[in-house]
Amino acid sequence: MAISPVIAGENHILSNTSSKQSTSDELLNSFMTLLVAQVKNQDPANPMDNNQLTAQLAQFQTSAGIEKLNHAVSDIGSAMNSMKQMNMTDWVSRSVLVAGQSAVSTHPGGNQTFSFALNSDVEEATVTLTDNQGNTYQGKVKDARQGVNTYQLSDIVEFIPHSPLQQSAGIFNLSYSAVTSEGNAPMITALKRAKVESVALSDSANAVLQLGLDGTATLDEIYLVQ
């Protein structure tokens, strides 16, 4: 059966309308509107047969099934996001590693742990320590691997011009660089440790971790939970 311009136009309308409608009831109403329009505008000399009607009904059932499936997937996704956000409340009072400049201290009891993240393995990475007077000291850490690497100050070797660790106690800011055995410079990200003070829940996929003076972070900004 040839489809008249009127029917083709109403098919186009249904297509545009379906993209905006979100319930099976609305789909049913649109289908019935189209069916009535087709019956009214069919060619009397070449009317619709049962096979055509059955085919259109099957198309509608497929569309309605996809609509219901989309709703189900959406509901499951929302439930999973809610569960994920609620689980993140267990992180309160725990430490996390996020991107940012960190510092170490040679004071008794001071922080002597530092971390960075790499996107490839390297045989060694260069660590630069800068004190409050702007003096810099460079050393190396060995066998840094892809992902998060954590070291102690005592792991740094081959200091240039000399080791600052034996001098009077002080605080040093850290920066990093690395070169692979092939001579490439991998991406290296300085990490700082922060404490999760609270979790702000929202309607979005990510809850927001409140890190006190260290600001906030979303789940995709966390490198490691400790």
Q: What is the reported pLDDT for 118?
A: 95
Q: What is the reported pLDDT for 152?
A: 94
pLDDT > 60? residue 36: yes
Q: Give a three-class secondary structure readout of the chain.
A: CCCCHHHHHHHHHHHHHHHHCCCHHHHHHHHHHHHHHHHHHCCCCCCCCHHHHHHHHHHHHHHHHHHHHHHHHHHHHHHHHHHHHHHHHHHCCCEEEEECCCEEECCCCCCCEEEEEECCCEEEEEEEEECCCCCEEEEEEEEECCEEEEEEHHHCEEEECCCCCCCCCCEEEEEEEECCCCCCCCCEEEEEEEECCEEECCCCCCCEEECHHHCEEEHHHEEEEC
Q: What is the reported pLDDT for 71?
A: 64
User: What is the number of other CB atoms lying within 10 angstroms of the CB of residue 146?
Assistant: 12
Q: Which of residues 20 and 210 earns the better pLDDT score? A: 210
- 95-194: which CATH architecture? Sandwich (2.60)
pLDDT, tens digit, 9 for 90 and up, residues 51-84: 666 676 677 667 666 666 666 666 555 555 555 5
**What's the whole-number mean pLDDT along residues 119-127?**
94
Q: pTM score > 0.85 for this model?
A: no
pLDDT, tens digit, 9 for 90 and up, residues 175-191: 999 988 888 899 999 99
pLDDT > 90? residue 169: no
Q: What is the reported pLDDT for 15?
A: 46
Look at 17-21, 24-28, 93-97, 194-198 and tell me which has the smallest mean pLDDT. 17-21
Q: Which of residues 71 and 102 earns the better pLDDT score? A: 102
Q: Which of residues 155 and 81 earns the better pLDDT score? A: 155
| Domain residue limits, the chain | 5-89, 95-194
